[in-house]
């Protein structure tokens, strides 16, 4: 089974850049999308139905902002929208599908790069999400949490750790949070298979950063340790260019 997480930075913009053809060629079984930036009535969602996907969209209340989705070749047993918190659910940040042998979440964690208020919002989200998942894994032992975490975990995950040490997305408290979150019992599947530096999933649009590979690894597929024997491969698909992010792929049995 091939699972992809992808912050597409606007589904309408990505479709204009041939996202549908790329999905047809790549043929993932499950696609977790973040930052869809649209309601379902604002684009032709039948494009994804024609590719064989059951589609579940969770748009933000604010137009053209945030939002998540999951596309799945297999119909899920259950769909859960949100995490029972109005501030985060209004932004469409978390959606979960449950299948027979695992559950999968698409999460778009807040960015704090626009200033102190949003950084505080981000840290509050992280604390709430930590507690939410702490309880969820007691009920859903085989869990995949895919998405844009807006955090680089370690120095290897960012092109210039020293210069960015005081930048949102690489702050010590954010990195510590991610360590603690993984220690709940998760595996960072990309690092499980790959220890090489210079492997990134997001690049600024400024200063020709992507061409120079001056990036950040902020998109993750974390799985509970109970799924370790099912892991087969994980990689970053950096050649896909429908967004300022690129997809991350996990294959499981």
- Residues assigned a catalytic role: 148
Phi, psi of 252 (to 5 degrees): -130, 165
Count of helix runs (H) and strand runs (E) in the chain: 7, 14
How far apart, in whole angstroms, are the C-alpha atoms of residue 250 and residue 253?
A: 10
Strands 143-148 and 103-108: parallel
Q: What is the largest CA-CA distance in the chain?
A: 47
Between the CA of residue 139 and those of 32, 135, 136, 142, 158, what are the distances in Å? 22, 7, 5, 9, 34
* 149 Cβ contact partners less than 8 Å away, ≥ 6 residues apart: 107, 109, 178, 218, 219, 220
Residue spans of beta strands (DSSP E) within the chain: 2-7, 30-34, 54-58, 68-72, 78-81, 94-98, 103-108, 143-148, 186-188, 202-203, 215-216, 219-224, 231-236, 248-252
How far apart, in whole angstroms, are the C-alpha atoms of residue 236 and residue 247?
A: 6
């Amino acid at each position: 089974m091939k699972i992809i997480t992808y912050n597409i930075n606007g589904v309408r913009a990505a479709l204009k850049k041939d996202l549908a053809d790329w999905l047809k060629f790549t043929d993932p079984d499950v696609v977790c999308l973040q930052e869809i930036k649209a309601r379902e009535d604002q684009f032709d969602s039948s494009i994804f139905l024609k590719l064989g996907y059951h589609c579940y969209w969770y748009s933000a209340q604010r137009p053209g902002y945030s939002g998540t989705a999951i596309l799945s070749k297999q119909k899920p047993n259950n769909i859960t929208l949100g995490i029972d918190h109005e501030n985060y659910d209004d932004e469409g940040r978390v959606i979960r599908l449950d299948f027979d042998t695992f559950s999968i979440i698409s999460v778009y964690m807040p960015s704090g790069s626009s200033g102190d208020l949003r950084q505080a919002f981000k840290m509050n989200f992280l604390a709430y999400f930590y507690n939410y998942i702490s309880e969820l894994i007691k009920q859903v032992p085989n869990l995949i949490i895919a998405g844009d975490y807006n955090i680089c975990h370690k120095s290897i995950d960012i092109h210039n750790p020293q210069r960015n040490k005081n930048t949102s997305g690489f702050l010590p408290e954010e990195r510590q949070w991610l360590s603690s979150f993984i220690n709940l019992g998760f595996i960072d599947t990309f690092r499980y298979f790959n220890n090489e530096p210079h492997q990134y999933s997001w690049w600024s649009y400024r200063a020709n950063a992507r061409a120079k590979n001056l990036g950040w690894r902020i998109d993750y597929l974390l799985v509970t340790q109970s799924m370790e024997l099912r892991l087969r491969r994980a990689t970053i698909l950096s050649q896909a260019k429908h967004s300022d992010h690129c997809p991350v792929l996990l294959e499981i049995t």
